[in-house]
Amino acid sequence: MSVLALDFVPMESADLEWIAAQDRELYPFPWSAQNFADSIIAGYGCWTLFEGGERAGYAVLMMVLDEAHILNISVCKARQGLGLGRRLLDHLGAVARAAGGRQIFLEVRPSNTPALAMYEKAGFETIGRRKGYYPAVNGREDALVMRLPL
């Protein structure tokens, strides 16, 4: 599969059911459509990635002063492994820089090795660990806290 033309479009209410369905397919503890709606209402940078006119991914970026925090970044299962996650990550970096961001933070499950590899390749460094941050099938899972200077 090749990558078609990409568009990063502000998330709209018409996207929310599709996004929530993707989150349910991707994660054992997904965000709800309401979680995404609340992010839009809060004024976070909420983006839908379109590839060739079709939805392919989504992301939520929160800005606090000169810091950006990626709250959610996901590519639908059928389009993973094609570099779309990295393109979405690069877009968030550009948005954060344009808003005066000097660094980006995120949390990631240590078990999410594809995401960890992408973040490390993009220049993120692990700066800490949050014990029991994520719900997991057998209790809780830690989160690695990662940072990228902009």
Of the candidates 27, 67, 107, 133, the residue annotated as catalytic is: 107
The angle that helices 33-41 and 16-26 make with each other, rounded to 10 degrees, is 130
Q: Of 98, 112, 96, 111, whose CA–CA distance to 147 is shortest?
A: 96
Active-site hit among 44, 51, 58, 119:
119
- CB neighbours (10 Å) of residue 145? 17
Is residue 109 a contact partner of residue 141, using CB atoms and an 8 Å limit? yes
- Catalytic annotation present for 54: no
134 is catalytic: no
Question: Can you tell me which residue has the tokens 């389009």?
Answer: 79
Residues taking part in catalysis? 107, 119
